[in-house]
Structure 1
């Protein structure tokens, strides 16, 4: 297959507030031929995640993945594709792979070159009856983040009561279900009545609420009147403050994200009740799934078995077409998507 040109999404302006389509441009560019140790991949699916919004700033948070430069390809976005041409050992045309050069039609990827702290390094996938895009979500980085955050970072213990914010999202929905499958009482929160219904009727959580319906702390008190032991934080802000107030002695907080502040020009004030961390012997720990790559194979075995047995539900919001990737991100940030947000490139 001869490939000469392909499309790429470039960031042309750092968004101020909400992400807008005209912050990006679709650019057609020549596709180079792979050199020794490289493969040419035709991308088929690409990921849309809240963490991308943090990188759409002139300077990314210290210690996190770097900000996207303007007017260049947006490297560091997980994607799935098929090998078109290979000059790398262990990869053949037709192989399904993942890598970190998404938001474009074609990518030339160097085998063994670390990307996204190892998570995005070129990897051949044994699809084994799963749709390829599952490896961008439930069997990929989202699944690893959920699995490591719940079981390792929060140190889930027998009898723990768990609250998961953004529990209708790509990570939160997995966390909530894994906790339920282990016999825990689980409360979920999200941002619409439809998502509350999804959490209750399909994920079978014990309680759920829409954070728009009133003060988060009051709604959490109603949903978990005896308090909680673990809070899995995807939101930050008033959710984090509510969790600190509701946690019982010895409670743990696993901080995965802080989506409530990603669109803000200035960070909001922090929780006003931080001394309760001392008073109640609480633990709070931030983490990234890529810091726990040693759990990837274990997660894929366990979660894959749950998917095959239809014990774990996985929902996707699919947006069609590469040029719609910026709009997919904007929709996700507005809370208009459920589960994993994906762009089908071809």
Structure 2
């Protein structure tokens, strides 16, 4: 019989970053684990997620999205772990769960606030870590963003920014399988090769090779029908310039602005009016009703060996802050995760 842990370690936000975060903005803290109350789980985390959108909540003036993370608190993140103790009906010791209280070795999880924890079951080729990628919220984001928001149709041209990230890498593959022509934007020539040779993009642009507003029109000579936007800023401006009439933009993220309060928006926004474009923002939870459909789709692809699902793995909480900063700088390929235990 295992002994219940009495202490745990966690990552706390101790200062709001000014620009790109620094490791000194975070601290690894050991604390006592309190006794569970009714309606709670104690989860031993195995994998925790690091995501670009967490940077938005490290801004005390992050109005309009979700509340800013409090100083001295653990930034919320998705995690996969095993239930060690349960006082919550429907969850048993030994269950593997997906929950939103990561960035710590052990989490006390309840139904209050955030998203409801889910029991997940690895099987076949589906691994635990896949529930932080294609079988989790990134998978739903890609699926709903492309098909529900972008309303992709066979034969159309899709432009994907952040195309080898945790969401973008899935969008590229979904679009290719749906019969679209796919143009990917990435941050290095090595990533461009990966986008074409491994993910299946027809064309890949390294935005560091010039101004994306010049690079994209040279590739999208017949225009773009759907833009899946993970970057915002100059990428959104470039996409608007080449969108075909009636095109759709799925506004998923704007990582180009997360570390700066002064990143300008597109200067050609009136073209959206002139072309009859639809620019539609979304968050994955708005399409939670599509979770099972998304999981069935990706689960089938994984089992048949038809999905490339890369992960950038950071080993242990001590290196989490460095991995988070590296992800914001574009060092990751695929989903960035931390192996906790």
Deviations 1:254-281 (CA, angstroms, capped at 9, x unpaired): 00000001111x2322211111111111
In 1, distance between residues paired with 2:228 and 2:133?
A: 18
In 1, distance between residues paired with 2:50 and 2:286?
A: 20
1:35 corresponds in structure 2 to 37
How high is the TM-score relative to the length of structure 1?
0.95
1:181 corresponds in structure 2 to 177
In 2, distance between residues paired with 1:251 and 1:2?
A: 55
In 2, distance between residues paired with 1:55 and 1:304?
A: 31
Structural mapping, 1:183-262, within 5 Å: 183-262=179-258
1:114 Cα deviation from its structure 2 partner: 4.1
1:2 Cα deviation from its structure 2 partner: 2.0
1:113 corresponds in structure 2 to 112
2:156 to 153, 156, 160: 160
Kindly indicate whether the alpha-carbon contact (under 8 Å) linking 1:113 and 1:122 is maintained by their aligned counterparts in 2.
no
In 2, distance between residues paired with 1:158 and 1:339?
A: 25
1:34 Cα deviation from its structure 2 partner: 1.5
2:330 corresponds in structure 1 to 335
Moved over 6 A (4+): none
In 2, distance between residues paired with 1:148 and 1:28?
A: 39
In 2, distance between residues paired with 1:123 and 1:309?
A: 24
Any idea what SS the aligned residue of 1:324 has? helix
1:87 Cα deviation from its structure 2 partner: 1.7
In 2, distance between residues paired with 1:188 and 1:209?
A: 6
Kindly indicate whether the alpha-carbon contact (under 8 Å) linking 1:54 and 1:61 is maintained by their aligned counterparts in 2.
no
Deviations 1:294-341 (CA, angstroms, capped at 9, x unpaired): 000000001110111122210000000112111111000111111000
The gaps in structure 1 that reach 5 residues or longer are none
1:70 corresponds in structure 2 to 71
Aligned residues: 338
In 1, distance between residues paired with 2:274 and 2:223?
A: 15
In 2, distance between residues paired with 1:164 and 1:25?
A: 35
1:72 Cα deviation from its structure 2 partner: 2.0
Are positions 1:26 and 2:28 aligned together? Answer: yes
Kindly indicate whether the alpha-carbon contact (under 8 Å) linking 1:240 and 1:271 is maintained by their aligned counterparts in 2.
yes
In 1, distance between residues paired with 2:88 and 2:303?
A: 32
Any idea what SS the aligned residue of 2:54 has? helix
In 2, distance between residues paired with 1:250 and 1:21?
A: 45
In 1, distance between residues paired with 2:213 and 2:27?
A: 41
Any idea what SS the aligned residue of 1:294 has? helix
1:159 Cα deviation from its structure 2 partner: 2.1
Deviations 1:116-172 (CA, angstroms, capped at 9, x unpaired): xx3xx1111122231111111111110000000000001112321100001011001
How high is the TM-score relative to the length of structure 2?
0.97
Deviations 1:216-272 (CA, angstroms, capped at 9, x unpaired): 1221112211111000000001100000000011111000000001111x2322211
**Greater mean alpha carbon deviation, residues 129-138 or residues 202-211:** 129-138
1:190 Cα deviation from its structure 2 partner: 0.6
1:322 corresponds in structure 2 to 317
Structural mapping, 1:69-148, within 5 Å: 69-74=70-75, 76-110=76-110, 112-115=111-114, 118=115, 121-129=116-124, 130-148=126-144
Kindly indicate whether the alpha-carbon contact (under 8 Å) linking 1:33 and 1:40 is maintained by their aligned counterparts in 2.
no
In 1, distance between residues paired with 2:61 and 2:123?
A: 40
In 1, distance between residues paired with 2:267 and 2:37?
A: 55
In 2, distance between residues paired with 1:29 and 1:160?
A: 53
Structural mapping, 1:45-64, within 5 Å: 45-62=47-64, 64=65
